A and B are shown apart, each in its own frame.
Chain A
């Protein structure tokens, strides 16, 4: 299992053999994905292994691959007094804030 330095408060979700991971790093909620159960991390289009979802608190995020609606990824991130919901329509390449809960 590959370790990830500096990433804390993990949440993982498995979907069709892919493992999706969120974790907290330096005031931000970050996202990774793996096709081998986390032994290695898939690279995004820009070559990086990790994408930023948005600013967040030191806490785990909620993460789900929604079965309906185009199988988008949904992340709920605690940020200050609110929970911010982010959506990705491209399997985590980019994230857009949908709103607050």
Chain B
């Protein structure tokens, strides 16, 4: 392996020697003395980083940078380089020995969980962060995900998930926790301030980090203790001593207490908006309508005391001939401009407007001698038909918001697995909404201060009815339904009432209170899957997790970043449809409206139990990239492989999620790849049909789902087989439609590349050449030439996996830049024929199966509520990018030649600043790339380009209007 060239500005060095830290120290003895690196995760208190890779980088002499064996100077820097902790180089310029450098590879964040001031021991703490890339696009990530303990299963005779929930970060007896975030270059928690001098811009940085506990968030700053004090809000209410006050969180009914001299302190409140109403009780203990007072809202902050002054109660004399009241859209929000009308039930008429509410929702009417001509009502098209009960003063609330309750038992949780939720996730954007069953109006929800959700708008409680109808039925409640993307959660629900008595009263019915479902809701779904880089290297059993889901080619890259994004545009068309118009990868991320971006990394979460994978280079029995909990339960440190596996934060169920991958290099820069399609690890599913308790490369007998090749399903014929010793040698198999119809599959499989597997104990004696006819999605046939090298083998006693020969050498991700039928990408539905080309009579025996991942026939990734959408990615970025060519013809014209969807295109402009004219397609068929053009002295354009392994050229005598291929 070549030594890495390390660049510090314009000066380069060569990484010449490597050492590992022991007790946090690595040393190199060089001419001139000893170079020492002291490596810490964090300081004060000091935590050393054990087993970290430290490189001695020696300066390359000026002018020698590109040489195979450059001259090296006696000047050095030290470089700590770790996949998780990132890269740091010190000192900032090359220096002579001896020297000692201190590296602090992380920053410590810490916090405390309290419950009304009392420390909570063993609390699960998660981290929620916002990443920003160099295009200022932001994504949400989660870390320290909750997971279930492993318990012994008599059924499986192994460890399976139990009900107890833990998180990697948990509080101690004092309610405190801490976590050290890696900050070296390329590390996933790197911030702008962590940017080293030898990097111009960060491809990715953390711009916000919060601790999350049961829906509450506290922003984290290095070394500052972030406190989440649940139900610790305090509200001091001032008012008329002896009067009653009712305090309700959001729009709930609330609890009453007496206003004391000097105010009343109400404790144990959740954060968020609270509504306060002051009232007096009559002799019978009910609301005394001779006294009135304006309602108020106040925002309570957990851990703090806020106050509200309700003032003195106002007296309304029943003998004064005045009626008055206040009308609210919802508790504490006055309904201004609402007409108070007289409804005469004897005549069936709605009389004149008696009064109109002012900005405070207040109204009053002096009763004339002849009377009002009816009872005072609100008859409003939006707010419905509501009587103003109470004489002489009435307090009416027309509507309320529907919301998740603040008690933890009723708060929604994001789906985690099966019937289980994440308590630290209590809200998923756009996952829940209410519908007015009468007119179908949708009411979106937003997150509450304590987690959960609430409708942004106040919902009317009552329907608007005619007087005739009111005579028959009385006021009628409006009916709502609660929805998630998986469908109707509750088909019928109504707003509650706020009585001021210990029992339901009629006036209480006309003070609307919010509805919340007294049930635990698990909302949202997620994208999870596996990602490898490239498709050249066989994965084999060394990468057991990738192999389990069928990925057989690719390379593991630590902490590959995977994102899912979605915009509000139309989803891409299915494979079978006409030319689709999918969002264009990364571009759609910044352009979409209603945008959601979530992001995660491979190698952090166990695909079996959801527990944390070990992240450090040091061991203590654990192995980086393997699950810690599984190591403790099953025994070996490599019991469960979490490498290549990723789980993204919970999102709303929806179609059209796109995925993208990003490799941030510790040496600087990054590579980003967008996937507009849905790539699945077919044939694989998380159902009992695919569940086994063993498999190649698996260190335990944990029950796991394993991918299968098509010859392991149905009648076992797969896509067909070939045996030169039989007649005919080719045995036809099935197309994908057959496998889609199998009971254990029952879904569209899309398109797949094919590969050859060899029988048990078989060894190919000589090189053979075959022709394989494959059917595309449009039923056209592509014939591929396949060469099987001599020496390839089937499985045997020592090697459980067969060697593999791909039918097509094309990168399947080339389809990302094409449209159906994806010609030339090696993606097919069926093998029709196989012919031996040479040598005649050669022995040859194999079967034809699928190569994962498949291009799934879906419009992007489909996320369903309470399910995982499985994605498998071979990250290749759409194949090797073809470079464009610019040409100035010397007479004022500029031409650009470029490749798109495998064809060469051209545009022309009349110099600068003239605009580009309409594009012209130069080539019509085949796979074309790398155009290069010149204009000769006779004014003819000559174009050269690559096509299928060779060069082609064409000539145009009319500035690209027409071309003749030479």
Contacts and interface: CB of A to CB of B under 8 A. Distances in A.
Indicate, yes or no, whether A interacts with B.
Answer: yes
Interface string A53-86: 0010111111111111110101111101111010
B257 to A, nearest CB: 62
Contact of A64 (B586, B669, B886): B886
A30 to B, nearest CB: 11
B223 interface: no
A34 interface: no
Contact of A83 (B5, B63, B585, B884): B884
Interface string B570-611: 000000000000001111000000000000000000000000
Contacts, number: 114
Given A5-B66, A68-B911, A83-B896, A59 B883 contact: yes
A69 B910 CA distance: 10
Interface string A3-21: 1111001010000000000
Contacts of A37: none
Contacts of B883: 9, 11, 59-62, 78
Contact of B817 (A6, A68, A81): A81
Contacts of B817: 81
B694 to A, nearest CB: 42
Contacts of A11: 883
Nearest to A3: B66
State the majority secondary structure of interface residues on A.
loop
Given A6-B7, A83-B898, A101-B907, A75 B886 contact: yes
Interface residues of B, number: 49
B12 interface: yes
B665 interface: yes
B882 A26 contact: no
Nearest to B906: A101
A64 B892 CA distance: 12
B881 A52 contact: no
Contacts of B200: 52
Interface stretch (B170-178, B420-428, B435-443, B670-678): B670-678
A22 to B, nearest CB: 10
A67 B892 contact: yes
Interface in B1-20: 5, 7, 10, 12
B886 A87 contact: no
**A2, A49, A78, A80: most-surrounded residue (chain B CB, <10 A):** A80
B444 interface: no
A101 B907 CA distance: 8
A39 to B, nearest CB: 10
A26 B674 contact: no
B898 A101 contact: yes
Nearest to B14: A5
Given A70-B912, A72-B912, A82 B881 contact: no
B744 to A, nearest CB: 37
A49 B9 CA distance: 10
Contacts of A76: 884-886, 896, 898
B948 interface: no
B736 to A, nearest CB: 28
Contact of A3 (B65, B900, B916): B65
B268 to A, nearest CB: 53
Interface string B49-70: 0000000000000010111000
Contacts of B750: none
B540 interface: no
A4 B585 contact: no
B218 interface: no
Contact of B674 (A27, A59, A80): A80
Contacts of A69: 911-913
A80 B584 contact: yes
A78 B7 contact: no
Interface in B634-691: 665, 667-672, 674
Contacts of A55: 134-135
A57 to B, nearest CB: 4
A63 B888 CA distance: 10
Contact of A68 (B135, B586, B672, B892): B892
Given A67-B890, A67-B892, A101-B898, A78 B882 contact: yes
B180 interface: no
Contacts of A25: 669
A75 B896 CA distance: 10
A46 to B, nearest CB: 12
Contacts of A74: 886, 894, 912
A60 B886 CA distance: 11
Nearest to B70: A3
Interface string B867-888: 0000000000110111111111
A27 to B, nearest CB: 4
A35 B919 CA distance: 36
A64 to B, nearest CB: 4
A33 B66 CA distance: 18
Nearest to B587: A80
B623 interface: no
B203 interface: yes
Contact of B884 (A65, A67, A78, A81): A78
Contacts of A4: 65-66
Contacts of A82: 584, 587
A76 to B, nearest CB: 4
**B670, B878, B885: most-surrounded residue (chain A CB, <10 A):** B885
A75 B919 CA distance: 18
B665 to A, nearest CB: 7
Contacts of B896: 62, 76, 83, 85, 101
Nearest to A1: B66
A66 B894 CA distance: 8
A14 B724 CA distance: 59
Interface of A: 2-6, 9, 11, 25-28, 48-49, 52, 55, 57-70, 72, 74-78, 80-83, 85, 87, 101
Q: Across the A-B interface, give the 3 residue pairs with the lowest CB-CB distance, nearest first.
A: A3-B66, A26-B669, A69-B912
Given A69-B912, A69-B913, 20 more contacts: A5-B65, A26-B668, A27-B672, A49-B10, A55-B134, A57-B877, A57-B881, A59-B880, A59-B883, A62-B883, A62-B886, A62-B897, A62-B898, A66-B888, A66-B912, A67-B911, A74-B886, A80-B584, A83-B884, A85-B896
